[in-house]
């Protein structure tokens, strides 16, 4: 893969860039602008894309840094999950899912990740959701691989604590959770 292939690859990468942008920005208008801007930046820098580099992580890196720049420009980096478009945090019932509880758990997983501190949330999105390796995530975020791992372990401790509690109070949580079909 070299930069000259980027134009032909971008359209097929688009759905994943779109969902990543939606998830990090939490706003569909921001996400659309973010992806456009990132694609433009990517194309302008296509010649810097080294053979052997994953185009997807390279584009994730540009989406992410574009978003960080944007947040800096807006001087409001402490976006909390309460500002999110609630509709985006819901999951739809999967016909393959066996039980309503499974849907409820999916909802809870998405919500739990959404409530992590920003740096941990992005690492979880890259590694657990997008399936990047630790080193790819480190390249995307421009941090050492050790930082990725420690953020990930902290994120997972938080989520583990949450779900440990859930396991103890299964019935209660299942009743309290949002109806995923609504």
Partner 1 sequence: MKMDSVLLMAYVDGELSAEECQEIEKEIAVSPDTAELVAQLRASQLPYAQAFAQQKLPPVPDSLTEAVAAMARAHAQRTTTPGANDAAVTRDAFTAPSAPIRSRLRIAPQWLAVAFVAGVVCYGIGTRFLPGFGATPNSSPTATLAAANPEEPGWVAAAAGYQQLYSRETVAQVPVNAELTAQTVDEIQHQDGLNVRIPDLSQAGLTFKRVQRLRFKDKPLVQIVYLPQQGAPIALCVMKEGKPDTTIAERRVESMNVVTWRHADLSYALIGKPEGTDLPALAKRISDNDVQTLFGDAGISMLAAN
Q: Within positions 87 to 146, which residues make up the interface with partner 1, using CB under 8 A?
A: 87-94, 97, 103, 105-107, 109-110, 113, 124-125, 128-129, 131, 139, 142, 146
Neighbouring C-alpha atoms within 13 Å toward the C-beta of 50: 2
Q: Site for partner 1 (CB under 8 A): which residue of 1, 119, 143, 149?
A: 149
Q: Smallest distance from the beta carbon of 47 to partner 1, in angstroms?
A: 7
Distances from the Cα of 72 to the Cαs of 76, 77, 91, in angstroms? 7, 7, 30
Q: Site for partner 1 (CB under 8 A): which residue of 79, 100, 119, 163?
A: 163
Nearer to partner 1, 18 or 81 (CB): 18
Write the binding mask 21 to 60 for partner 1: x where contact by CB under 8 A, - elsewhere.
Answer: -xx----xxx-xxxxxx-xxx-xxxxxxxx--x----x--
Nearest to 122 by CA among 30, 32, 24, 56: 24
- Our finding on whether 159 is near partner 1 (CB under 8 A) is yes
* Distance separating alpha carbons of residues 156 and 70, to the nearest angstrom: 28
Q: Report yes or no: 33 and 42 within 8 Å, Cβ to Cβ.
A: no
Nearer to partner 1, 28 or 79 (CB): 28
- Our finding on whether 84 is near partner 1 (CB under 8 A) is no
Which pair of tokens denotes residue 165? Answer: 């509690």
Q: Smallest distance from the beta carbon of 175 to partner 1, in angstroms?
A: 20
Q: What is the dihedral of CA 150, 156, 159, 162, to 10 degrees?
A: -100
């Amino acid at each position: 893969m070299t930069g000259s292939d980027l134009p032909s690859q971008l359209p097929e990468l688009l759905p994943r860039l779109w969902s990543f942008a939606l998830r990090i920005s939490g706003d569909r208008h921001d996400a659309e602008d973010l992806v456009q801007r990132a694609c433009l930046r990517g194309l302008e820098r296509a010649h810097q894309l080294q053979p052997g580099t994953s185009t997807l992580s390279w584009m994730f890196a540009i989406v992410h840094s574009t978003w960080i720049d944007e947040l800096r420009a807006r001087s409001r980096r402490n976006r909390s999950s309460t500002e999110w478009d609630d509709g985006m945090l819901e999951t739809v019932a999967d016909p393959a899912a066996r039980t309503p509880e499974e849907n409820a758990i999916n909802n809870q997983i998405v919500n739990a990740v959404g409530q992590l501190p920003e740096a941990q949330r992005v690492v979880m999105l890259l590694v657990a959701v997008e399936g990047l390796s630790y080193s790819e995530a480190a390249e995307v975020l421009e941090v050492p691989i050790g930082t990725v791992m420690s953020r990930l372990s902290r994120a997972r401790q938080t989520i583990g604590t949450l779900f440990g509690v859930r396991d103890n109070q299964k019935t209660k949580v299942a009743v309290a959770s949002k109806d995923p079909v609504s």
